[in-house]
Amino acid sequence: MVSFYRLAILCVIAIIFGVFMFFAVIWEPYCFFVKPYYSNDLSTLITSDIYTVGSSNSSSDSKDLIVMLVPSISSELIRRLELIDVNFDDNFSTNLLLLLGNDPYRFSLQYLTKRIKRKVLFLNVGVLFNLFPSGFDPCRTQTSYRVRGKWNYLMMIRFWFKHLFELPQLKNYEYIMRLDDDSKMTGHWINAFDEMRRRKAVYFANNVDIDIEEQLPGTMKLKQVTYEYLKQNHIEPKQPQVLRDAFGNNTVRNYYNNFEIIKMKFFRRKEIRHWIESIDSTNGIFHYRWGDAILRYLTFAIFAKSRQVLHRPDYNLSYCHKCP
């Protein structure tokens, strides 16, 4: 009799576990574990402040900032950050901001801070990776592009395309350099911020690359969306030939923006905010994986003159992405 009851209890537990796994795997965690947000008011969601850990090796009031979005603090990440200190000719005057999805162990942050010569700042932006456009249903919508979770990679795209320019914590910065956590400065760099000011540039671009329709179905839908937007809003692109060249038969050009430097004021202009919101409202990022790289390329083709865009290869700045 005792064995029968134990068997019954085990069966009940197995059924409960099976139901749990069904919701977790089949129905997706956004419907079971996490409540999605739909508000666009970041000031009510990102309530944490930028912070430092321990005593800083330097102190800077620079209007420039180097930004990385990092999943965790690792020894490899620290080695890449040390290369910035070694190779970037700014006398450690530019602060480094690490954007985190959670609050890591304090001793990891302290160890990192001790190894880096420039001032290191931290900000938790994890809530943004559960923030969806109004009217979008993350529970019932399927994704064809899954990396580190159902929506994580696409949320990253949306962050760099839209949310970066809305963060109230960054409102006082003029120029922001983005580096991905798997990027390296592998040789001597001039102070690219100074060069942008000297040239009155709004963007420092990386190599030109392409996204391919065959690999990312729906990529070419962006051509019709772009030209309809220009027509509806009576916009003449600043670089019409660059815009025409952006779209091939089955490809869209992009700036390989695991490195880029952005003039923040440019992206806060009314007409560019309208463009960003319009693209975001199509949900093309979530349905077709429209990347921030191709969206960045189109943004500058439409709104920036050629002389306002600098190109890393023209300056022979040594750099690599996903290299050992």
CATH number of the domain within which 258 lies: 3.90.550.10
**Mean pLDDT in consecutive groups of 10 residues from the start of the chain, 324 residues:** 63 62 50 62 68 74 94 92 96 95 86 93 88 84 75 92 92 96 95 98 97 95 98 98 96 96 97 97 95 97 98 96 85
Residue 56 and residue 160 in one domain: yes
252 within domain boundaries: yes
Closest-CA residue to 96 (of 85, 86, 105, 87): 85
pLDDT at 138: 84
121 within domain boundaries: yes
User: What is the spatial distance between Cα 44 and Cα 121, in angstroms, rounded to a whole number?
Assistant: 21
Residue 26 and residue 153 in one domain: no
Residue 24 and residue 46 in one domain: no
Residue 203 and residue 97 in one domain: yes
Residue 123 and residue 232 in one domain: yes
Q: Are 124 and 102 in contact (CB under 8 A)?
A: yes
Coil/strand/helix, residue 178: strand
Residue 51 and residue 28 in one domain: no
Give the predicted TM-score (pTM) of the model.
0.87
Residue 22 and residue 105 in one domain: no
Closest-CA residue to 188 (of 274, 90, 301): 90
Residue 208 and residue 85 in one domain: yes
Residue 56 and residue 172 in one domain: yes
157 within domain boundaries: yes
37 within domain boundaries: no
293 within domain boundaries: yes
DSSP category for residue 35: P
299 within domain boundaries: yes
Per the structure block, which two tokens stand in for 110?
A: 């302290």
270 within domain boundaries: yes
Residue 16 and residue 165 in one domain: no
129 within domain boundaries: yes
Residue 48 and residue 21 in one domain: no
Structural domain span for residue 81: 42-321
Burial of 282 (0-12, 13-18, 19+ CB in 10 A): middle
Number of domains in the chain: 2
Buried b (16+ CB within 10 A) or exposed e, 86-123: ebbebebbbbbbbbbbeebeeeebeebbeebbbbbbbb
Closest-CA residue to 151 (of 101, 221, 219): 101
pLDDT at 26: 46
Residue 248 and residue 303 in one domain: yes
Closest-CA residue to 162 (of 133, 135, 127): 133
Q: How far is CA 55 from the centre of its chain?
A: 28
Q: Are 205 and 259 in contact (CB under 8 A)?
A: no
pLDDT at 55: 67
